[in-house]
């Protein structure tokens, strides 16, 4: 298809917290035109709107969908609203980018998947961390059997001080704490790298040590912790098909290296192991490969070529391409549902102290 002959897709964003990154990406991409933004917070709408002159502003997403003439929209609102607004956008005939997690529970995620199956528009989940160079290298390495048969996986995201405030710490709004906020990203990358194998069982433990005491917070303070309703750390084990164990960890707060905000992965295989350690969001020097040559242990540092564009822009560019070519979206709703099912099982295991089997 000759893209030069096709007008840019008219894009909008609902929710101008993390949604501001979507807005900037739409503005920068050649194939999209940012035409409208929406937020119920009038002060934030005015503040962020000033960064995007000549872009229409809405306080009601119903009006946005009815009046703005959109082709696609990003839904970047508190987790509890993902299902309501995503389904409304799909029913309005729009293509939709839904921020992670797809929904706060399995029933809501299933409702979104069903709506997407009925809709003429496409839906993708905003797993922007897939567009890191190290994550994409891991996927290629596993697919090409560079690591051999995978027998052990580790994935985690840990902060020393990083408890957010507001709706993030309200269970009804968020669905959970760091597990559903940060853990969903590393869970998605690990399953994506492996080709989304079935998860057979989940055993997890959560704790709330710092949040209830109002400690180790940033952003909107949680005060004395009286409104703190979620975990501030979680660790567990998943059993994947083929009896492969996967350790999963997520924390907002811990006694660690001051200022630590690190993401990590380990994929151990019969030929080699790949380890990623991302310190404070860096894109450089994050990957090591460990193997043997003639019985001698070897450490290698693969030279990475960052995707262009990356992050939100990379995902949105791929999604626009999928819309243009009528291809599968980069992160389909079925994969978003798969991660929600794992998170649900993790929380149920933590609540009961028992391993949970997934069908």
CATH of the domain at 11: 3.40.50.720
Task: Show the tokens assigned to 52.
Answer: 């995007």
Please give the model's pTM, rounded to 2 decimal places: 0.95
Same domain, 96 and 137: no
Looking at the structure of the chain, the number of domains it has is 2
Closest CA to 180 of 262, 250, 263, 76: 250
- pLDDT at 1 (0 to 100): 42
Q: Are 166 and 284 contained in the same domain?
A: yes
CA dist., res. 45 & res. 59, Å (int): 8
Whether residues 318 and 344 fall in one domain? no
Q: Which residues of the chain have pLDDT under 70?
A: 1-5, 219-226
CA dist 93 and 65 (Å) reads 9
- Specify whether 85 is located in the same domain as 148: no
Main-chain dihedrals φ then ψ at residue 168, nearest 5 degrees = -60, -30
pLDDT at 2: 44
Residue ranges making up the domain that contains 15: 3-128+311-331
CATH at 143: 3.30.360.10
Query: 52 φ, ψ to 5°?
Result: -125, 70
Task: List own/partner pairs for 32-38 with CB under 8 A and 24 or more apart.
Answer: 32/8, 32/72, 32/316, 32/320, 33/8, 33/9, 35/10, 35/11, 35/68, 35/69, 35/70, 36/12, 36/64, 36/68, 36/70, 37/12, 37/13, 38/12, 38/13, 38/14, 38/64
The answer to whether residues 345 and 209 belong to one domain is yes
Q: Over the stretch 118-160, which tens digit does the pLDDT of each residue have? A: 999 999 999 999 999 999 999 999 999 999 999 999 999 999 9
Query: What separation in angstroms does the CA of 271 have from each of 82, 135, 153, 196, 304?
Result: 42, 19, 14, 21, 20
Whether residue 309 has a cis bond before it, omega within 30° of 0: yes
Verify that 283 and 327 share a domain, yes or no.
Answer: no
Identify whether residues 63 and 134 lie together within a single domain: no
Same domain, yes or no: 168 and 29 = no
Do 71 and 175 lie in one domain? The reply is no
> Is 128 in a helix, a strand, or coil?
helix
The confidence score (pLDDT) of residue 218 equals: 84
Distance CA 223, CA 166 (A): 11
**What is the model's pLDDT at position 306?**
87
Closest by CA to 184, choosing from 166, 200, 168, 170, is: 168
32 with 122, same domain: the answer is yes
171 and 299 part of one domain:
yes
User: What are the residues whose beta carbons fall under 8 Å from the beta carbon of 158, sequence distance 6 or more?
Assistant: 249, 250, 251, 254, 256, 260, 261, 262, 264
Together in a domain, 148 and 203: yes
* pLDDT in the model for residue 308: 87
């Amino acid at each position: 298809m000759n893209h030069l002959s096709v007008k840019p897709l008219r894009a909008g964003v609902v929710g101008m917290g993390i949604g501001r990154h979507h807005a900037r990406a739409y503005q920068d991409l050649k194939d999209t035109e940012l035409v409208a933004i929406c937020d119920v917070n009038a002060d934030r709408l005015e503040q962020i709107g000033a960064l995007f002159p000549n872009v229409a502003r809405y306080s009601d997403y119903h009006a946005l969908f009815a009046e703005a003439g959109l082709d696609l929209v990003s839904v970047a609102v508190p987790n509890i609203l993902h299902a309501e607004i995503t389904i409304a956008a799909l029913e309005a005939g729009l293509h939709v980018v839904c921020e992670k997690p797809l929904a706060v529970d399995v029933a809501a995620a299933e409702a979104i998947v069903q709506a997407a199956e009925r809709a003429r528009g496409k839906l993708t989940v905003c797993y922007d961390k897939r567009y890191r160079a190290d994550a994409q290298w891991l996927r290629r390495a596993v697919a090409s059997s560079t690591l051999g048969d995978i027998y052990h996986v580790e994935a985690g995201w840990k902060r020393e001080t990083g408890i957010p405030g507001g709706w993030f710490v309200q269970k009804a709004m968020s669905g959970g704490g760091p597990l559903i906020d940060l853990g969903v990203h590393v869970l998605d990358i690990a399953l994506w790298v492996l080709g989304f194998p079935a998860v057979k069982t989940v055993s997890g433990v959560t704790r709330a040590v710092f949040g209830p005491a109002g400690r180790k917070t940033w952003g909107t303070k949680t005060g004395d912790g009286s409104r703190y309703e979620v975990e501030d750390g979680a660790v567990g084990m998943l059993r994947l098909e083929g009896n492969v164990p996967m350790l999963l960890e997520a924390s907002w707060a811990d006694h660690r290296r001051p200022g630590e905000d690190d993401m990590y992965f380990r994929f151990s295989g019969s030929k080699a192991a790949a380890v990623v350690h991302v310190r404070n969001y860096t894109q450089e020097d994050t990957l090591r490969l460990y193997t043997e040559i003639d019985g001698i242990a070897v450490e290698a540092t693969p030279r990475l070529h960052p995707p262009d564009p990356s992050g939100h822009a990379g995902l949105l560019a791929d999604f626009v391409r999928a819309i243009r070519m009528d291809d599968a979206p980069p992160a389909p709703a079925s994969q978003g549902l798969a991660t929600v099912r794992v998170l649900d099982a993790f929380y149920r295991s933590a609540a009961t102290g028992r391993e949970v089997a997934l069908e």
